[in-house]
């Protein structure tokens, strides 16, 4: 399991598997990215983080409040080539990101103002290892209708790891086959599907993809297709 202690001690060059040197952000580049993001913070309103993947079940950072929320204008897509963590250079998988269009339901986490920088630095070390995401301030609608300013990590379509084709026929075999230091790619997908169901949230694309991956595993492996999820 990806833990707070692991992240704090992790050397990003090696902790998640072999990452191409040219893709790695230096600690200084990550800090500059965080500084730039905070400089665009909308006023002095509380900072919320939108969790739509593993942040939902394993956020690692501290939060003062967690609420169901909906993000308009973006949808989940396994559009990032996964070469570390739950994949390798030789057997890449696919990682989740947000692409433009549609909407996404997930969880909103309100960060403690007194520890804002500390918690965001930890989040940046987790999400911005290669700079594949664009930290974006968005209007997020909470379950009671309140609208808050939140940070969402959306896919950078100009990044070398971006993959345009997210059809189930293409990505299901990749997700079913890939694994790395943090576990298998399929475990991630199954954990996401379970978490959405636990919160009464529906994402038809994820549900359909789960069916494709399970079918592929049943046809191509003799072992179990479930397993404990790691994040």
Q: Is it the case that residue 225 has pLDDT exceeding 50?
A: no
pLDDT at 18: 86
What's the topology of domain 4-220?
Answer: Hypothetical upf0131 protein ytfp (3.10.490)
Contact 225, 186 (CB under 8 A): yes
Q: How is residue 115 written in tokens?
A: 């520890």
Per-residue pLDDT band at 1 (split at 50, 70, 90): confident
Q: One of 62, 113, 119, 127 is an active-site residue; which one?
A: 127
The answer to whether 65 is a known catalytic residue is: no
pLDDT in tens, 117-156: 999 999 999 999 999 999 999 999 999 999 999 999 999 9
Mean pLDDT (whole number) for 78-83? 97
Q: For the whole model, what pTM was predicted?
A: 0.93
- Each residue of 39-49: pLDDT tens digit? 999 988 999 99
What is the C-alpha to C-alpha distance for residues 114 and 112, in angstroms, rounded to an integer? Answer: 5
């Amino acid at each position: 399991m990806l833990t707070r202690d692991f992240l704090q001690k992790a050397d990003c060059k090696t902790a998640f598997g072999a990452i191409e040197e040219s893709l790695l952000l230096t600690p200084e580049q990550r800090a500059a990215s965080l500084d730039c993001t905070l400089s665009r913070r909308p006023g002095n309103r509380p900072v919320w983080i939108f969790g739509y993947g593993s942040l939902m079940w394993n956020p690692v950072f501290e939060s003062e409040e967690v609420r169901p929320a909906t993000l308009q204008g973006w949808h989940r897509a396994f559009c990032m080539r996964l070469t570390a963590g739950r994949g390798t250079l030789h057997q890449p998988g696919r990682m989740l990101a947000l692409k433009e269009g549609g909407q996404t339901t997930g969880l909103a986490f309100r960060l403690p103002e007194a520890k804002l920088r500390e918690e965001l630095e930890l989040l940046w070390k987790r999400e911005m290892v290669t700079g594949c995401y664009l930290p974006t301030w968005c209007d997020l609608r909470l379950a009671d209708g309140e609208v808050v300013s939140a940070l969402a990590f959306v896919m950078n379509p100009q990044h070398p790891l971006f993959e345009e084709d997210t059809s189930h026929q293409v990505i299901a075999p990749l997700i079913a086959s890939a694994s790395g230091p943090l576990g298998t790619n399929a475990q991630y997908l199954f954990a996401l599907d379970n978490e959405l169901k636990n919160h009464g949230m529906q994402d038809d694309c994820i549900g359909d993809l789960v069916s494709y991956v399970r079918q592929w595993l049943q046809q191509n492996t003799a072992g179990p297709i479930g397993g404990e999820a790691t994040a």
